[in-house]
Amino acid sequence: MSGYAAPLAEMRFALDEIAGLPEIAKLPGYEAVSADVVDAVLGEAAKLAGNVIAPTNRTGDIEKSRLENGVVRTPAGFKEAYRAYAGGGWSALSAPPEHGGQGLPIALDTAVNEMWMSANFAWSLCPMLSISAWELLEQLGTPAQQRLYLGRLISGEWTGTMNLTEPQAGSDLGALRTRAVREGDHYRITGQKIFITWGEHDMAGNIVHLVLARLPDAPAGTKGISLFVVPKFLVNDDGSLGARNDLRCVSLEHKLGIHASPTCVMSYGDDGGAVGTLVGEENRGLEAMFIMMNVARLHVGLQGVAIGERAYQQARTFAHTRIQGKPTGAKDGIGLPIKHHPDVRRMLLSMRAASEASRALAYYAAGATDRARRLPDAAQRARAQARLDLLTPVVKAWCTDQGVETASTGIQVHGGVGFIEETGAAQHWRDARIAPIYEGTNGIQANDLVGRKLLRDGGAAVADLIAEMRRDQSRLDGHDADGHLARGVDALEHATKGLLASAANDLSAALAGAEPYLRLLGTVAASWLLARGAAAATRRLKAGAGDRLFLEAKIATARFHAEHRLAQAPALLPAVAGGRTVMGFDLDLI
């Protein structure tokens, strides 16, 4: 397996030209975010990712995490990497200063998190979940919960998890059975949770579990779910650790990939009930958990970006060094690397374009997060939040699908040796495959996009996005000369109107077209952002600013994506409209 080097030039370009970091840095609270600060943060993060975390990726996949006498032992180097991460203040990068954070933009933190995910996908899941946990407690935690947990989660001294899934429930959270019984100022939690990522480990002093459970008198279904903080070790009023709570990891799942990430079966209340405290209001736990889930969904989308980048780097290194066959036009007897073969060149470009497109979409959403939180004008904040809400399921689903496809193409570039574990190419695909399933499968994301986001406002958020795309077409400096973006936007508008009309008569048929609609929206939006980037690169070239080869590559990559991906987007229209065919098919024949 090749090493990892953070693509700093790509990241900085996407931050500046796609996320709009220079404008974000002018928002209230971000005044200290200078260009020098950004460069320093990215540069130091790249060193930690490449030199400390990345070397644990392959060894972690081989060693795996293991359960020994109730304790999960992580692979060699994991604890040391985590100590370097937490000790360097990286866990606090975007956290609020009043709770010990550094208060830097979400967009910048997104680029840094991409580095951890590319360096070691399995390892990065632990800090990712901690970020989601402190985001939830920062918004909904009681003063006591914030005092006891928030600072330690932000510092990385403790880590966090989310406990949703149960054996009989899966994604149907309304069917969960874990119980919570009131006992004075706390609750006793009993039940079993499965698929709990980093539910037990040896990298931090305490693990703060966010657990969904049902009160004895709760209504049935999702309206009867409450949310609780349930720490591995009870916490005394002075913040010191108390007795071990009544919870334990009873087994680890044996998975296709992310072998080093312990996926735990957690048992609560084997000896009378684990002690937990309520987050938010009783019976409104799912609503509270969505704060954590939406943060996690954006991070999972970023995982698609990260694993695609890592697979691309590996394939590129192989293609530059592997000499095999005689490319068309080469002289007899001259051995050239396989990158000279036209189809290998095409595959590498497809990987590069997919990585840049998914990065553009993920960073753009991160910029929308900063604007939704920091813009002085309430109406502008609301517009940014609407854009973020719309794009969250798209980032999660579209970017993770891109990551799986890119990792698969990486195996193909290697040929037969890509199918052999020793090269490491297969690990990227095995690891990537979980991301379309995490945090609500991509089909659930498509249902959310159509069933909630599109229908909730009658398509207003999508219409606002389409209008902005159309306004941009005249400012793209000729980068849609072939009209691929214009046709893609037309197709998106047509599909949106069609789904709104279809849903009014047959919601099931509309939802059957939701997945191709999400693919259409993601493809058009990402290509639009790449075209924006190409126009920015052209302006820089004309001004003589920046590296010429890098900027020309940005323009060529956007053109490749438009020709090979965006041009196919209008062909999704029949699938979007084909929900009645799906719903009309005899289930016994499927």
Q: Which residues are catalytic?
A: 439
Identify the residue whose tokens are 């002075």.
Answer: 238
Q: Measure Cα distances from 208 to 199, 243, 275, 364, 524 in Å.
A: 9, 14, 12, 31, 40
With helix as H, strand as E and coil as C, how does 518-564 read?
HHHHHHHHHHHHHHHHHHHHHHHHHHCCCCHHHHHHHHHHHHHHHHH
Return d(Cα 236, Cα 221) in angstroms, integer: 34
Question: Exposure string (b/e) for 546-556, b if CB count within 10 Å is 16 or more?
Answer: beeeebebbbe
Query: Which three-class secondary structure state does DSSP give residue 187?
Result: strand
Backbone phi, psi, residue 27, to 5°: -75, 155
**Terminal-residue alpha carbon distance, the chain:** 41
Cβ–Cβ under 8 Å, residues 530 and 479: no
Question: In 337-377, where does DSSP find H-type helix?
Answer: 342-374
Sign of CA pseudo-dihedral 6, 12, 14, 15:
positive
Go through the chain and tell me how many residues it has: 590
Q: In degrees rounded to 5, what are phi and psi of residue 84?
A: -65, -40
424: alpha, beta or left, given left = phi > 0 and alpha = psi -120 to 50?
A: left
Are the C-beta atoms of 526 and 398 separated by less than 8 Å? yes
